[in-house]
Amino acid sequence: MSISAQKPTISTAGSGNHFSERLNHILAELKQLSADLKSASKTTASHSEKTKMPDARPKLAAWEKPADEVNTVDINKGDTLTKIARRNHTSIDSLIALNGIKNKDRIKAGRKIIISEKQPANNAGQTGPTGARANAMKNAQADQISEPVGPTRIRTGAIAKDVSAYDRDTMIRTVIGEANNQGQRGQEAVAHVLMNRAADPRFPNNLSAVAKQHKQFSAWNSGVGGNSLVRKYNPGSVQYDRAANAVDRVLSGQSKDPTGGATHYYSPAGMRAHVARGEQKNLLPRWLQAMNNERGGGPTKIGGHLFTGKARIG
């Protein structure tokens, strides 16, 4: 038997038209997508122009800034730029630049003069421009970002109770500012005065408040006697760790009070230096006689300081 094979045939009628229609449909979709993308791009560009950020505010000169952004001191009768610069550990050129002074020989008593610009809050604690000494406002700003603490309890005897990390740090910085050039005994003596005052009802019972009480411990002052040491050194530095050792010995009761319960002290050398610079006229503190009377005798010399007064603890 023979079988005849036949080749199958496939009809293509109409297939060309179907493919063409499909291709045209795809091209139309692509064209519409392209148009949509261009439209979106124009809308974004237009929105961007409308919401463009304004240019940054031009930097103001120091004398154009608000009072709370600069550190100032009073100009006293007889002051010159030289005297002001020396008192505030800065330079004449810096004072001229900060204040826009045109005639350095003409400054008026009773007015204020800028000695430095304040650091932004996120830089609090760093040494300010020109190394100018810290002032009360700068210290307050730095305190606001420090660890929040409650009040220190009045101590019992010679041993402090519940002293916070913040109060300890304040004590250490006070010792650095007041007695950085003293030996361990001299630094411990200053720490004992802080403790004596905190235990005396005539003074605040919070160690930080005692240290920063207005015009008491001069290292924290913005004027005569103030310095940048209270903010200059931090944990890990030789100066901070040395003062921390003295403070910890006092807080733990390991150090016996060598001052005899003193609440006051002064530096004869420091007093002479203030007089020589024209910052004051008296070589002895005005409170000295009253404190010696309260003590019932003369002051006790420890290192470069003379300690007097007597804490009322009871």
| SS3 state of residue 314 | coil
Beta bridge partners of 301: 306
pLDDT tens-digit series, residues 17-49: 666 777 777 777 777 777 777 666 555 444 444
- Kindly indicate the confidence band of residue 189, based on its pLDDT and cuts at 50, 70 and 90: very high
Question: pTM of the predicted model, to two decimals?
Answer: 0.52
Burial classification of residue 29, based on how many CB atoms lie within 10 Å of its CB (0-12 exposed, 13-18 middle, 19 or more buried):
exposed
Distance (Å, whole) CA 196 – CA 211: 12
Sheet holding 264-266, edge to edge: 264-266, 305-308, 300-302
Residue indicated by tokens 């979106």:
40
Domains of the chain: 62-144 (3.10.350.10), 165-308 (1.10.10.2520)
DSSP 8-state symbol, 156: B
Residue 149 has pLDDT above 60, yes or no: no
182 to 59, 302, 305: CA distances (angstroms): 43, 9, 9
User: In this predicted structure, which of 145-149, 179-183, 236-240, 264-268 has the lowest mean pLDDT?
Assistant: 145-149
Record the tokens describing residue 159, joined without a space. Answer: 């041993």
| Contact assessment for residue 116 and residue 71, using Cβ atoms and an 8 Å cutoff | yes
Residue 14 has pLDDT above 60, yes or no: no
pLDDT tens-digit series, residues 270-281: 888 888 888 788
